[in-house]
Amino acid sequence: MGLSSVYIPEEDLANLHKYKYSGIDKSLLSRYVLCHYWNNLVKLFPMWMAPNLITFIGFGFVLLNFATLLYFDPTLDKPSPHWVYYSYSLGLWIYASLDAIDGKQARRTGQSGPLGELFDHGCDSLNTTISLLIASSIFGLGQTWWTVGIVWVGLCNFYLSTMEEYHTGTLYLGYFSGPVEGIVISCVLYALTGYFGPGMWQIDYKTMIPLPSALVDHLPSGALNHFFVVVGLVTMLPNIFNSIHNVFEARRQARLPILPVLVSFLPFVFASTMAYLWLDASTGLLTQHLVAFFAFVTFGFGYTVGRMIVAHVTKASFPIFNMMFIPILVGAVNANLAQRGLPHLFPLAQEHYYVYFCVAYAVVVYLHFAMTVINQICQYLDIWCLTIKHKKVA
C-alpha cells in the first residue's frame, strides 16, 4: 500500500461514487427562522466560489477566536476587554453562518460530494473543543474539572452523532437541542458578557430566579456560571441518548448484530479514560497546562472523527485504533507510575514539555491525514478542493 492510500485503500475509492448525503433536520429554529437568513446569505456569494472555500473562511474566524483567547485569557479565568467577548460572538456567528450555507452553495454550483462532508465535519470537529474552551473562559471556569466536564460532554455528543451517521447513513438534528440552538445561545451569552462584563457569571444564580424567597432559599447556592454549565450538560444528554437509540434501532430494523456498534464506542471510551487517568494523576496538568492539553485533544479528536467520516463516505469498516491513542496512553501511564513512585519515563515536573510534544505530534498527524485524504479524493474524483474545476452546466 502506497503512502497516498494509507487512509483510503484503493479498493474503497469506488465507493465514493455511491455516497449521498442524508440528513434530517428537525430544528424549529433552523426550519422556520434561520433558513430565510441562510437562503438570502448564500446569494451574496458568487457562483465561482467553491463551497469548501466558504467553509475554510468560516473556520478562519474560529482560529482567530482561539488566538484571541490564548492572548487575553490563556488560564480561562481572567477578565478580558469587553470588545473581546463581542468578537467571540461575532466570530462564532460568522463561522456558523458560513457553515450553514456551504451545503447550499454546493447544490447551487453542482459540487455536492463526499469531500464536502469530510471538509465540513472536519472543521466542525476542531471547532467543538475550541468553542467550549472559549465558553469556559467566558464563564471564568479556569483550569478545573468544570472545564474538563463541559468539553468532554460536547465531544461525546459530537462523537456519538458522527458514529450515528456512520451506522445509520443519516445525520439527525433535534427539535430544540441541536448545534444551531447551541451556537445561537453561545453567541447571545458572549454578547451579554461583553455588555455586563464577566463578573455577571460569579453571582449566585438564586438571585436570578423570579420566585418567592421561601421557595428559592431551599435551593443549593452556586455561582451562575456553574448553574449554566449544569443546565448545558443536562440539555445535551437527550442528544447523546437519542444518537445511541437511533443507531440501535437502525441495526434492529436491518436485522444486524449489535456487537459491532458496541465496539464503535471503544475509541472514545479509551481516550476519555486515559485522559481522566492522566489529568487525575498529574500534579500540574489540570491546573497549569490544561489549555495546552486541550490543544492536543482538539487535533486528536479531529483525527479520530475524521477517520470515522472517511470510513462513512467510503463504506469502509469502522476505525477502532489510531495513532492518537499512543501519546495519551504514554502520558496516562507515566503520570500514574510517577505518582506511585514507580519507574517512569519523565518526572511530573517536566510533564508540560511532553504535552507540548503531544500538541506538535497531533498537529502533524492531523495535517498529514487531512492533506493526504483531500489529495486522494480530489485525484480520484477529478475535482479541486478550494476551487471549482468543473462548473455546473446550466
Active site residues: 121
Q: How far is CA 53 from the centre of its chain?
A: 19
Q: What cell was used for 121? A: 465535519
Beta bridge mates, 173: 25
Alpha helices in 197-283 (DSSP H): 213-216, 224-253, 259-264, 266-281
Phi, psi for 265 (deg, rounded to 5) = -75, -20
Report the candidate in 306, 305, 38 with the shortest Cα–Cα distance to residue 184: 38
Q: What angle do CA 370, 373, 378 make, to 5 degrees?
A: 120
Determine the Cα–Cα distance for residues 300 and 315; give it in Å rounded to an integer.
22
Which grid cell sits at 38?
441562510
Among residues 75, 200, 199, the alpha carbon closest in space to that of 133 is found at 75
- Cβ pair 271, 300 in contact under 8 A: yes
The C-alpha cell at 147 is 472545564
Residue position matching grid coordinates 446550466: 394
Residue 386, Cβ density class (10 Å: 0-12 exposed, 13-18 middle, ≥19 buried): middle
Number of C-beta neighbours around residue 130 at 10 A: 21
Amino acid in position 179: P
C-alpha cell at position 54: 466558504
d(CA 171, CA 27): 12
Strand partners, 49: 387
* 3-state secondary structure (DSSP) of residue 296: helix
Phi, psi angle pair for 61, to nearest 5°: -70, -30
Backbone dihedral angles phi then psi of residue 172, each to the nearest 5 degrees: -105, 135
Could you tell me which residues are beta bridge partners of residue 23? 171
